[in-house]
């Protein structure tokens, strides 16, 4: 899929949500087994309130051990150690409202203070096949939040993901790259 890879690279620094969804619609679905592993993530700026926020907070990516053992939010903790965060403890509603006005550096400092209180070793999501925009593909269904991350395959080690959050006019968009050394 070299054409898909080139199209994705062209969108990495920012794009209209419609352009990203157009690319998503051309990508192949991915099966649940194709998601297993540890993935490094990076948002694609589209004008969503979360653009750049997760990265400013030290977001690393996602870890999917099995279909039922999934860690949707993995961050860099103290001394660079990877830690999983409990998504339900994050104030998603206020974050959506405040993200456009709170400087990222301030948010990062505040998050660093509370991050130890948010960490968990328990899975916080599951992988299921979901139909999104007419295509059945693997998706991450959060356990206690109205969030579904839908994935499409760019290549064997790259996924385009969209976070479908109830009430948002368009999804938060991100790319995941497989960490082969994560075993």
For residue 100, the tally of other CB atoms under 10 A from its CB is 9
User: How much is the pLDDT for 37?
Assistant: 97
pLDDT per residue as tens digits for the range 63-96: 999 999 999 999 998 788 999 999 888 766 666 6
Please list the residues that pair with 151 across neighbouring strands.
161
pLDDT per residue as tens digits for the range 131-173: 999 999 999 999 999 999 999 999 999 999 999 988 888 999 9
User: How much is the pLDDT for 109?
Assistant: 83
User: How much is the pLDDT for 183?
Assistant: 47
**CATH number of 116's domain:** 2.40.128.580
- Model pTM score: 0.90
**Alpha-carbon gap, residue 106 to 13, rounded angstroms:** 23
Contacts of 36 (CB under 8 A, 6+ apart): 64, 65, 66
Domain count, the chain: 1
Judge whether 125 and 72 are in contact, CB under 8 Å: yes
pLDDT per residue as tens digits for the range 97-140: 666 777 778 878 888 888 889 999 999 999 999 999 999 999 99
Asked whether residue 44 carries a pLDDT value surpassing 80, the answer given is yes
Domain that holds residue 112: 2-182
């Amino acid at each position: 899929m070299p054409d898909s890879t080139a199209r994705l690279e062209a969108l990495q620094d920012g794009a209209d949500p419609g352009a990203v969804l157009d690319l998503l619609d051309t990508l192949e679905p991915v099966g649940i087994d194709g998601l297993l592993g540890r993935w490094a993530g990076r948002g694609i700026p589209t004008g969503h309130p979360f653009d750049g926020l997760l990265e400013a907070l030290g977001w690393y990516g996602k870890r999917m051990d099995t279909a039922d053992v999934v860690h949707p939010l993995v961050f860099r903790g103290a001394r660079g150690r990877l830690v999983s965060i409990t998504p339900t403890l994050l104030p998603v509603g206020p974050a959506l409202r405040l993200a456009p006005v709170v400087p990222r550096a301030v948010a990062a400092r505040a998050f660093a203070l509370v991050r130890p209180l948010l960490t968990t070793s328990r899975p916080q999501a599951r992988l299921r096949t979901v139909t999104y925009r007419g295509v059945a593909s693997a998706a991450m269904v959060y356990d206690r939040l109205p969030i579904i991350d839908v994935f499409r395959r760019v290549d064997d080690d790259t996924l385009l993901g969209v976070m479908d959050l109830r009430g948002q006019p368009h999804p938060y968009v991100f790319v995941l790259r497989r960490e082969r050394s994560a075993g």
